[in-house]
Structure 1
Amino acid sequence: MNISRRQTLTGAAWSVPVVIASAAVPAYAASGIFAVNFDGGGGANGWQNSVYLNFGTSNGSTQTLTKPVTLTINVIGLNTNTTTQRSFIIGSSNGTLGTRTYTAATRTTTFTWTIPAGTSIPPLATGGNALPDILFSFGDGLAGVNRITNKIVVTAVNGASLSQTLPVDSSVLKDKNKGAISPDGIY
């Protein structure tokens, strides 16, 4: 009886033991499950203005955080004729806002936003349904030369991954509220 090489290899393949391993995967570990958007432009650039930075899922389902998620955020002054910081107030619907630090040389205010473990994160939205979020309330940007305008940039995310490539820049992504006075992502 002649046994071909193909028959030998087929028999060998069926006789090799297979080991299957599995591990629990946290709900937030899926690549690109979260996203951010900017919803605002309630005033003209450089004047009193407000904007929301919204955080939500990008896949349409609600997820519960199994560990804290921390976003690092920069508020950058765009008027290169001054190193003066424009006044603004921040508040969060959920989570902790870290201490703000200002670097005059780059006209940048940096802070963190930590959303605690156990927080239920709904699909990304705008308006009253967009939680969790940060409200930025900018003061008048009147400066000696022109007005101080700002953009908001998410530079890092720890504890989760975004479907967007970092950094996420408000002046690139633009506002979701296209009918606003300032939908260009500059405030």
Structure 2
Amino acid sequence: MSTGLIVGIVVVVIIVVLIGWGVSAYNNLVTLKNRVKNGWAQIDVQLKQRADLIPNLVNTVKGYASHESEVFTQVTAARAGVVAAASNPSTTTAQRAAAENQLSRALFNLQATAEAYPQLQANQNFMDLQNQLKELENKIAYARQIYNDVVLKLNTAIETVPTNIIAGLFHFEQAQYFEADDASRQVPQVQF
């Protein structure tokens, strides 16, 4: 065999390996991007269920604590903000997270208000609604954790060598984490 033929074969093998690696890296980035979208869709399903449950919970508490109108107004306004953010396609993950965090704070205040009414605590309908909400909150927290884990994997793949080359060539962008805002990190103040 001639030296030129050996060099040609080596060059072809290197090109095939590089193309194979490039296809594999691209497919991995697409998979991660789709998992991020799926993770957000899973969060969205849980948030929709929570938004649908809230009016029932508010109406049940309203029957016992009709003079606590400020709490009901906060919950209703926060829910409206979440629904508006969810239905607007230009809403970013950060804006959606802020709306969801505001709703979580309002729900905390609603639950704290409900604790001041022992007869409400004994109401089976209220207890069922509260348990459903608690389960949904746990599912939402779990879905957020999964979403953030996938975002971490995607963002790491986009930033690390050598997949950053493929990410740059095909304009892959980093995804936003679902983060609590500063107000959510504060302990809510409940006053009666």
TM-score between the two structures when normalised by the length of structure 2: 0.30
More helix as a share of residues? 2
- In our comparison, the structure showing a higher alpha carbon Rg is 2
As a proportion of its length, which structure holds more strand? 1
